[in-house]
Amino acid sequence: MAVAPRGSGSNSSPLGASSLDPSSRLPCSVPPPYATPSSPMMRLSRWLRSVGVFLLPAPCWVPPERWLGPLPRPSLMYRGSVLGAWHSARCWCQAWTEEPRTLYSSLRMNGDHKLDVYDREKQNFLQHFPQIVKVLTEDDTKCPDTGDAVARLREVLEYNAIGGKYQRGLTVLVTLQALVEPKKLDADSLQRALTVGWCVELLQAFFLVADDIMDAALTRRGKTCWYQKPGIGLDAVNDAFLLEACVYRLLKFYCREQPYYLNLIELFLQTSYQTEIGQTLDLITAPQGNVDLGRFTEKRYKSIVRYKAAFYTFYLPVAAAMYMAGIDGEEEHSSAKKILLEIGEFFQIQDDYLDLFGDPSVTGKIGTDIQDNKCSWLVVQCLLRASPEQRQILQENYGQKEAEKVARVKLLYEDLDLPAVFEQYEKASYSRLVALIEQCAPTLPAAIFLGLVHKIYKRKK
């Protein structure tokens, strides 16, 4: 379940090149990373950077940690200490004046590991998986009537839940840690956060197993798709149902006595529905054997992306952590959703781009969007730029399985310079997302959202 990215050119559409022009879409107080030295925005940039010089080295007026004793440490934590303003100012000065990768590196060099917390928590997350499998299979193994079915469930879990990047699941843990003071996060709270993170991963596994069948995909995460394995076939449909059922069994086992249990149940159910609606939009927009290029509009593409990927990839894990932290207000969730759905669109456009132009040895899958007649970002951008002759070439070759026809479509994309279009889109989207985070996240730690943006910017898989 994914989409692809790339864009540039003279078209003025929302995803077109001109819409990516920083001067047309972004407030001038947030210069794009690629602004030229002569631009007016660069003068502001230099001023911000001079402020950053004052902030970055942890000036003498910031008390050493050992002096703070039991007092709260400087942090970006929700409702945290006033000293967190120093970190926030440093973060924003750099976010507005540096390339994202430079910002990421400098934050690490200056001792702020907030954005690297995913790497630090990954081992704990993986170590919790055997406990997840044990809870889901141990009790049922005592019943001789279902023993072989439970053994199958174990195999399904171990093959389909392992091997990804785990960013969705880790986001639950990382976000909760950013919202709740460490002294209030006991071992049980952390275990529940790890479990809810795995619920997100299992929900994704359910989606992916089903999606691979519908797309007739060959590989996933560097392995043969589950349904393609000998002896599996369409039995994988039931295996997908098992994965979904495991989500609610885990939530009941670990969270039933918690005040946020009902919120989590409703969140997962609503997200499943939204994702399935997105999949329906995807399927009916590109029916097999019927290539209708007129269906591939920007409006339809955005709807598919929002429902099929953005809700479950970004809003679900952050919203789950917010509920677990006791944040259930409509305003906070609305602000978070606005940011996260935009990040989700950015992510899915990258996915569409990597489907064709990514390295399968890195992405772990062989892209089939062209063969599957998908409404991807690349084909939408192609149609916005194609001449009548080029549109005819696309009509004759898109949605076809033959390798030479797939190659012809890829050549057409390259002739239209869609790789450069995507590069421009990616840079402009970074600046736009930074501005959106500043505008919409006044009551939540900006680091939560910036961390997600940095994790996916310039990704290769």
Catalytic residues: 165, 206, 211, 215, 220, 282, 308, 347, 351-352
Owner of token pair 């942090």: 75
> How far apart are the C-alpha atoms of 289 and 37, rounded to whole Å?
52
Q: Give CA–CA dist 5/420, Å, rounded.
A: 11
The CB density around residue 173, as the number of other CB atoms within 10 Å, is 26
Residues contacting 443, CB < 8 A, separation 6+: 78, 331, 332, 335
3-state secondary structure of 34: coil
Structure tokens belonging to residue 373? 């007649």
Write out the two tokens for 348. 């899915």
Q: Rounded to an integer, what distance in angstroms lies between the CA atom of residue 30 and that of residue 136? A: 49
Q: Is 446 within 8 Å of 91 (Cβ atoms)?
A: yes
Q: What is the Cα–Cα distance from 254 to 249, expressed in whole angstroms?
A: 9
Distance between CA atoms of residues 153 and 187, nearest Å: 28
Q: Are 304 and 434 in contact (CB under 8 A)?
A: no
